[in-house]
Every structure is written in structure tokens, then in C-alpha cells.
Amino acid sequence: MDAKLPVDKRVEALLGQMTLKEKIGQMDMVTVWDREAIFKNGYYDFGAWLADLEPEESNQLQKLSEQTRLKIPYLIGMDAAHGYAMLTGRTVFPTSISMAATFNRELVLRTTTKAGEEIRSAGTHWAFAPCIDIVQDARWGRTGETYGEDPFLTSELVKEAVRGYQGNEDPLKRVAVSVKHLVGGGASVGGCNHASAELSERALRSYFLPPFKAAIEAGCMTIMPGHNDIAGVPVHASKWLLTDLIKKEYDFKGFFISDMGDVGNLAASLHQVAENQKEAIRMSINAGLDMHMYSADSMRFVAPLIELVQEKKVSQERIDDAVRRILKIKFELGLFENRYVSPEKDNYGSKENKDLALEAAREAIVLLKNKQQILPLDKNKYKKILVTGPNADNQSILGDWSIFQPDDHVTTILEGIQTLASPEQSITYSNSGRIKLRSPICRSTPQILLSSKG
């Protein structure tokens, strides 16, 4: 196909060659965790993979796409709350809650641009970020992935994030974003992920939806609906929200990708609004969902949806609309001409990127309390320092979505203090969560630093 043709013409030409099964295959995202079963099955007509892979591994997946009849390249996507910190050795950029604390649009643009370059150089084209839920309950476990509680601030920063990830001057360094989670998860009952959100349309439009509208106006390519329901209607089954509001009223030209397992959750114990998996697929696709993430057996999505079309319970027009949206983004990302990446050009963890991450982290620091001007600690004044609390020497609290970083890439609170202390200073650590300030160790230490739960 002539790469010089307009994208819309290329999409229509390809769509006209596709069978129903091939179209529905494009609407399915499988996971690299199931690749052995997929290889054994020998069926590779999928639209996307959920995977965190090195460049060589990404190229191996793309070779499978060339074994299909039409050789349509895969989208490969993964979460990117810390940049591409899910992949070993990549630069760990601050999360959105930290970037929000900078109030710096330009810094968000710069960090997401560099994060996008690292993502694309690994053969991944799709970042499940940023999270633009508006948080009303800080107990919600996804708060750290968001820009916080302010709709205006979130709207301003998400526009820069979209431009950073998707707007690189070099098209081979761009990645699609998936802003998430539409909508209301940050106001869930009890601050529980997956829980209901009791929100009126007025609250949605005035408080929770403005960041999504801003992202759409900035050109975001995909949107991920949330796990939650709104006033009893699961977001993944809400035609009013997905189609009438977002696609039609807000003129969203990209596609919706489900959150993991949330099509099945319509039938499972979470929502219980569908009788079975097939009915859950019907409800979500007719509501406006375009791509399904994921089931261990792809045929749990592809085969039932073929039946639903044959039974006229899902229209051919709805299928074509979804596939058009998916193919359009694959063409816009240049995947048909550049599905493979060069491992030699995998530019990650560079000094430039690490310096930028450090700059962002420093600018994000907020000093909430400093009685008697104790901070910064005077090395000449405080010779004995006690660091206490079970999380002071705990790597796991230093950022979600970064679990695969090697230990020597992470500095704990205790390690940082020990590194910066002078030889004349004595640093004592107690990992007890119940240490009393009247205990002998505390009475002998004039300065005490508490970590979380300390």
C-alpha cells in the first residue's frame, strides 16, 4: 500500500480487505504472559500485546504479525506511571502526583517527551498514562498516579503530557497515550479501587470530565474506561458515557481500550450486570468499547463477538467503526513502515534523562513543616541522627509501577541519609514501628527522623 496516501484512504483500503474474524482480532489485546499458549495455538491475528519487553523481544512479537494474511503490525502497550520504569534500567521519572506539585507545564512536557522516547526505543508504542482521575479520597490506592484533586491543574498538565508523548518531531519517537480512568475512580466509595462512585451528571461535567475533554482536545489517541460504576452503571457498559458523550459530544477520534479484565467483570462478581462472558462482550462493544484487554484465551473474546455479529446483536457498522479507529492510530504511528526497532538505538537511562528526572524530583519537593528551621540538617550542629520506622530502608515504598528496577538503582531514605552524612556524624537506624520517644536510644539522640509508619 502506498505510504504517501492519506491515512483515511489507507484505513479504508485495508478495512475493505479484512474478514470479520480479522477485524475482530484487531479489537483484541493479548498479553505476553500467555505467549507460550498463543504460540502453541498458532493464531496471531491480534490487534495488540500487553508487554514490557526489550527491543529484541518486541521484534520477535512483530515477526508474528508478518505471519498473518494481511501482516498488520501490533500495537505493544504497557503502563508508564514512572516513565517506562516497568522495564529494567529505564529512567524512573517522577509520578504524576509529584509532577503536579511542580505546577510546571514545561517540565511535564520535557519529562513525557523523554519518557516517550525511551518507551518507543524498546519497541513499545503505547503508554497507559497519564492517569487523570480527580481524587476526592486520598485513601484511594491510585492517588499517586494522578495529578491530584484539582480539575484545572490536571487539565493543564494532561495537555502537556499528551503533547510530550505523542508530539515528538521524530515520528519514530512518538507513542500513543491512553488517558485513564474514565471516570470517577478517585471518588469511589470508601476510597476503594473498583468501588462504586455516586456522582451526578453535573458533578461529572463540572469536576471529573474536564481533564478528559482537555486530553481529547490535545489529541489523545486512546482512553481507558475505569473499573468502577457510576450510580450503578459500569463505565464499561455505559453507552451514554463512551459513545454519546465522549465520542459524539467531545468528538473523540481515537479508541477505547478496556482496563484489564473489565469486560469479564460485567458478568463476574464485581458488577453482575451480564449473564455471561458473551453478554458482557455485547454490552461493552455496543456501549462503545473498541479494544478488549485481555483474556487468557483470546477466543473468549473473538469467537463470541463473531457470533454476536452473526446473530445481529452487534452491528457490522459498530465493528467497522472500532477497527477504523485502531488502524488509524497504527498508521499515524508509522507502524506499517517501522514495526521493528534497532536494539542499538535503544536510548534509555542516559545521563541526560537521569538528570532531567532528578531536576523534576527536586522541583516536586514540597516542604510542609519546618519548625525551628531544622531543615536542612546542619552537619556541624547535629552529630547524632536516629532514623526510625519500618519504611526507612524499604525500596518497595519508593514508587509503584517500578518493581523490576534492580536494587542498585534504588536509594532508600536511610541509604540517602547515610550517603550525605559527614564522617563526623553518627547515623543510627531502628526499624521498629513501635519505638517510644522516651526509650534510651531516643534520649541519646538529639535529632530523630521518622519515615512512614515511624
Burial class, 434, CB count within 10 angstroms (exposed 0-12 / middle 13-18 / buried 19+): exposed
To the question of pTM greater than 0.85 for the whole model, the response is yes
Report the pLDDT value the prediction gives residue 197, as an integer from 0 to 100: 93
pLDDT in tens, the chain (454 residues): 788 899 999 999 999 999 999 999 999 999 998 888 888 888 899 999 999 999 999 999 999 999 999 999 999 999 999 999 888 888 999 999 999 999 999 999 999 999 999 999 999 999 999 999 999 999 999 999 999 999 999 999 999 999 999 998 888 899 999 999 999 999 999 989 889 999 999 999 999 999 999 999 999 999 999 999 999 999 999 999 999 999 999 999 999 999 999 999 999 888 999 999 999 999 999 999 999 998 655 568 999 999 999 999 999 999 999 999 999 999 999 999 999 999 887 778 899 999 999 999 999 999 999 988 888 888 888 888 888 888 888 877 767 777 777 778 788 889 999 999 999 899 999 886 665 554 555 555 555 555 554 4
Reading the block at residue 141, the C-alpha cell is 490506592
Report the pLDDT value the prediction gives residue 129, as an integer from 0 to 100: 95
Count how many Cα atoms sit within 13 Å of the Cα of residue 355 in the half-sphere of its side chain: 3
For residue 354, the tally of other CB atoms under 10 A from its CB is: 14
Residue extents of the structural domains in the chain:
7-345, 368-450
- E strands, 83-218, in order: 126-128, 176-182
User: Could you give the CA distance from residue 382 to residue 373 in angstroms, rounded to a whole number?
Assistant: 13
For residue 77, the tally of other CB atoms under 10 A from its CB is: 25
Report the pLDDT value the prediction gives residue 438, as an integer from 0 to 100: 47
Instruction: List, by residue number, the catalytic residues.
Output: 259
Report the pLDDT value the prediction gives residue 171, as an integer from 0 to 100: 85
Architecture, CATH, for domain 7-345: Alpha-Beta Barrel (3.20)
Tell me which residue of 210, 252, 259, 32 sits closest to 123, measured CA to CA. Answer: 32
The distance of Cα 260 from the centroid of its chain, to the nearest Å, equals 12
Report the pLDDT value the prediction gives residue 444, as an integer from 0 to 100: 56
Report the pLDDT value the prediction gives residue 446, as an integer from 0 to 100: 57
Orientation angle between helical segments 151-166 and 210-218, nearest 10 degrees: 20
